[in-house]
Structure 1
C-alpha cells in the first residue's frame, strides 16, 4: 500500500520570498551607488552606470551573491553596509503565520538561499527565523547557485529529499527553472517580492499573492491524499 502519511518537504527561498526584497533593492540600487561615488569620487550617475555594468556581468553567478567579492570589486565593505542597515530587513506579510502553520503540522521546512553564508547568518539573527527550519543551506557552501541543477544535485546528496513530494517557493524564475530541471514539480513564485514595487502581472509559474496562500494548497493536497488512501484501505 502506498504511504500517503509523509508530509512534503517545503523549501523556501529567503530574499523576496520570506523577506521583503525592498531591503536588498535599497542596498544595491540606492545605498551602494552613493557609497561607491563617495569612495571613488565620481558622480552618482557614473557610479550607477559602473555598478550596473558590474551587475550585468555577474548576475546569476556565485560572485553575484558574495559580499566578499563585491567588497573587493567596488572598494566598499558591502557586508558591513548591509549590517549597518539591518533594521530595514523585514519579513513579508504572512511569513510567521505560514512558518508557524507548517511547524505545527509537522512539515519539514527548509531554507535554500543564494545569499552568502555571512549575509544569511545576520539576516537569520535579525529576523529570528532560524528555529523554524530543519535544514538551512547557502549556495556558497554548495559551490553552485540555485539557478543550476548542480545546486539541487548536491543538496539532495547532502540532505536527501523526494523531489516528487516537495514544494519550492522562490521569487526568481531562473531559480525555479533550475529546480524544475532537477525534478521538483510543485513550484511557486511570489507576486510581489518587494513592497516598494508593484505586483507582477505575469510569470511562468503560479504566484502566491500572500505567503499564507500556500496553506489551502497544502490542505487540498492532504485531502486528495486522504481520498487516495481510502482506495487502498
Structure 2
C-alpha cells in the first residue's frame, strides 16, 4: 500500500530561485569588469571581453561557482567583493511566505545550491532563511555541480530522499536536466529569476511566476493523495 502520509521533499535552488538573481548579475556582469579593469590597467571593454571568455570557458563547471577559483584567475578578491555588496542580496517575492507555509505544514525543505560554501554562508546570514531548511548542501561539498547526475547520486547517498516523491525548483534548465536524468519527476523553473531582466518566454519545464504558485500545486497533490488513500481504507 502506498505511503500517503509521507510528504514530498521540497528541494530549492538558491540564486535565481529563492533569491533575486539581479544581485549576481550585478556582481559578475557589472562590478567585476570594473574591478578587473582597475586591477589590470585595461579598458572596461577589454575587461568585459576577457571575463566573457573566462565565463564561456568555465560555465556550468564546478569552477564556475568557486570564489577561490575566480580570485586566482582574475586577481580580484571575488568573495570580498560579494560580501562588500551583500546589502544588495534580496529574497524573491513570496520566498518567506512559501518557506513558512512549507514549514508549518510539515514538508521536508532542502536547499541545494551551486554557490560555494563561503558564498552560501554569507547569503544565508544576510537573508535569514537558513532556519527553514532541514538540509543545506553546496555543490562544493558534494564535489560536482548540480548540472551532473553525480551531484544527485552523492546527495541521495548522504541525505536519503525518494526522487519519485520530491519537488525540485531551479532557475537553470541544465540543472533541471541533471535532476531529471537522476529521476526527479516534479521539476519546476522560474519565470523571472532576475528582477533586472524580462521574464523568460520559453522553458522546457513549467515555470513558477510567483514562488507561492507552488502552494496550490502541492495542495492539489495532497488532495489527490487523500482520494487515493480512501480507496485503500
Query: What range describes the TM-score normalised by the shorter chain of this pair?
Result: over 0.9
> Counterparts of 2:84 and 2:123 in 1: how far apart (Å)?
12
Matches within 5 A, 1:54-65: 54-65=54-65
Offset at residue 2 of structure 1 (A): 1.9
- Counterpart of 2:19 in 1: which secondary structure? coil
Match of 1:136 in 2: 136
Match of 1:74 in 2: 74
Instruction: Structure 1: state its 5+ residue gaps.
Output: none
> Counterparts of 2:2 and 2:211 in 1: how far apart (Å)?
30
Offset at residue 30 of structure 1 (A): 0.1
> Counterparts of 2:151 and 2:91 in 1: how far apart (Å)?
25
Offset at residue 3 of structure 1 (A): 1.5
TM-score (norm 1): 1.00
Matches within 5 A, 1:183-202: 183-202=183-202
TM-score (norm 2): 1.00
Matches within 5 A, 1:44-55: 44-55=44-55
> Counterparts of 1:195 and 1:3 in 2: how far apart (Å)?
40
Please provide the CA RMSD for this pair: 0.3
Aligned length: 233
Matched, 1:113 2:123: no
Offset at residue 74 of structure 1 (A): 0.1
> Counterparts of 2:43 and 2:61 in 1: how far apart (Å)?
28
Match of 2:168 in 1: 168
Match of 1:37 in 2: 37
Match of 1:22 in 2: 22
Following TM superposition, the consecutive aligned residue runs of length 4 or more in structure 1 with deviations greater than 6 angstroms are none
> Counterparts of 2:129 and 2:220 in 1: how far apart (Å)?
26
> Counterparts of 1:147 and 1:98 in 2: how far apart (Å)?
25
